Structure formats: structure tokens, C-alpha cells
Amino acid sequence: MIRNIITITLNPTVDKSSSVDRITPEKKLRCEQPKFEPGGGGINVSRGLSRLGIASTAFFPSGGRTGKLLEELLAMENVTTAPLPVSGETRENFIVVESSTNNQFRFGMPGAEITKDEQDTIYSAINALDPFPDLAVISGSMPPGVDSAFLRKLLRSFKEKGCRVILDTSGNALSEAIEEGPFLLKPNIGELARLSGVESLDNDSADEAARELIRQGRAEVIVVSMGPHGAYLVTKDETHHISAPAVKKLSTVGAGDSMVAGMVSVLASEGSYLDMARMGVACGSAATMNPGTGLFKKDDAERLFKWLSR
């Protein structure tokens, strides 16, 4: 039984979003009033879980004025947090929607460097958690100063304490961390191709590539995100393709994190892997129905899950 869930976001952000009729070079663009929302992979997962009535704790480094704002925004959403003070300013991303075309322009900042001493403090703080979590979601990009070795060390520590880890990152961090064999991976098809050492994959070859990673001990369960084509659920015993429901897409921001939140919600109630993947696709699809940086609405996600379960 999963009683204690933690999400780890090493590179959190405050997402600042606005809209303008048209983006034109060298013109003064008069934007709408900005909106501020919490951001970062694991933080968004905790936000999504809160909407589904599932408790979790969002752990993240927090620094400066933006860090305080991030903590306040999460408190407003009733998300339980465990911020760890760091010296650098928490980053702020900027998203602009061109309202005349609905095109989105995303400006992602790298974040401040996390020092070696701060990394040691983060590691010690996580290992001192009491009670220790049953399930950990490590999600999002790595901030400057944090290399893949730290992520592997963190993942190894969770596994040694019997905690199942869901890993949702990218690049070298993902390539190296899977050597520790996390419980669940959620790559997109491009990331799966890179992990498999091939140039590209398609719908027919993705499930076999995922199965090979499982045979190598790099994960127990893999859910391959296929965007508008849904997802593949792959375990050592079963493979399922879950088609994405047809919805009116307004934004893809937060869809991947919403997908992870949906999957964790089913794991928390000890549901089947198939229902886990269906709820993930339902929440990810529901997130695309909302404009800007908003996540999913619970009613939309539950309606889509019922449709997928028919």
C-alpha cells in the first residue's frame, strides 16, 4: 500500500505567462496582465495529485524572491511542500501566447547553480525523511552544477530503502540514471530511441525497444508518451497501446507532468498497470484542453478515463 509520496524537483520555476495579439520583431508588444504559476516537473506532479485528491509532498530547492513566491503559490493550491533553502535565485520561465494564432512561445531559463555543499544537504535531507516515502517521482531538468552522478546516487538511495522511483527527465541525466533501474520510466518516443541507441522509432518498434530496456533491468515498467497518438504501456508480461482521446487542444504545457500525476494516482490506490496508463493518458489529454500553463481539470480527466476504459 502506498501511503507516502514525494516528488523531487531539482530545477523548480515560477512560470510567468501572458498573451499578445501578435509577436512582431522590434515592436513594443503590449501584453495582457501576467499570470504566475508554480512550475517544474515534480512540482506539477504534486499539483496534479492534489487535484485528484492524492496527498504528496513536493521537495525542491528554493532561493531568493522567486523561491518565496513559488512557496506562496503552492500554499495557495494546498500542496504540501518541503522547500530547502539555497543561495541562488529560483528561476522564472516566460510563456507568451500569440492570441491571433494560438501559437506558444516558451522561454526557459537555466536556473541558478546548486553548489556541491547544497547538493550534499539535499541528499542528506531526503535520506532523513521520516517516514520515508513509498513512492518517489524524480522529474524535470537538472540545474547547473548538478550532474548525472548525483541523480544516480539519489535514485540508488531510494531503491536501497525500498522506495519505488518514477523517473521523468531527459538527456544525459536520463541515460545515466536508468543504469540504477528505476521502477517506472516515462520517455517520449524520441527519448526512447536515444536510450535504445537507434536514430528513430515508430509505433511498431517502440514497444520492442521498451521491452529490451526492461530485459536489461533498466526499468520494471515503461510508459512511452506518444503525444496525440496516446501511449504504450510495456512491462515484462504485457504491452498495451492506449489511444489518446480526440479533444480540442489549446496548450501542451504541463501535459507530460499531468500524465505522470494521473499514473501515480492509480498506483496510490493499487490499481492495475493498464488503468494507470489510461489515467495517465486521460490527465495528459485533459491538460491540453486548457490554455496557457494550466494543468488538467479533474472532471475532464475522469470523463476521459471513463471513455478510455470502455
Which residues are designated catalytic?
Answer: 257
The C-alpha atoms of residue 223 and residue 132 are separated, in whole angstroms, by 26
- Could you give the 3-state DSSP secondary structure of residue 101? coil
Cα atoms in the Cβ-side hemisphere of radius 13 Å centred on 294: 17
- Backbone dihedral region of 40: left (phi > 0), alpha (psi from -120 to 50 degrees) or beta? left
CB neighbourhood size of 156 (10 A): 15
The C-alpha atoms of residue 141 and residue 198 are separated, in whole angstroms, by 23
User: Quick one: DSSP state of residue 229?
Assistant: G
Q: Judging by DSSP bridges, how do beta strands 239-242 and 231-234 pair with one another? A: antiparallel
User: Quick one: DSSP state of residue 227?
Assistant: G
Cell numbers for 235, please give them.
512491462
The C-alpha atoms of residue 310 and residue 295 are separated, in whole angstroms, by 25
Rounded to 10 degrees, what is the CA torsion of 122, 124, 127, 128?
-110
> Could you tell me the sign of the dihedral formed by the alpha carbons of 199, 203, 208, 213, in that order?
positive
Contact call for residues 243 and 203 (beta carbons, < 8 A): no
Q: Which of 225, 254, 245, 226 minimizes the C-alpha distance to 285? A: 245
> Could you tell me the sign of the dihedral formed by the alpha carbons of 28, 31, 37, 40, in that order?
negative
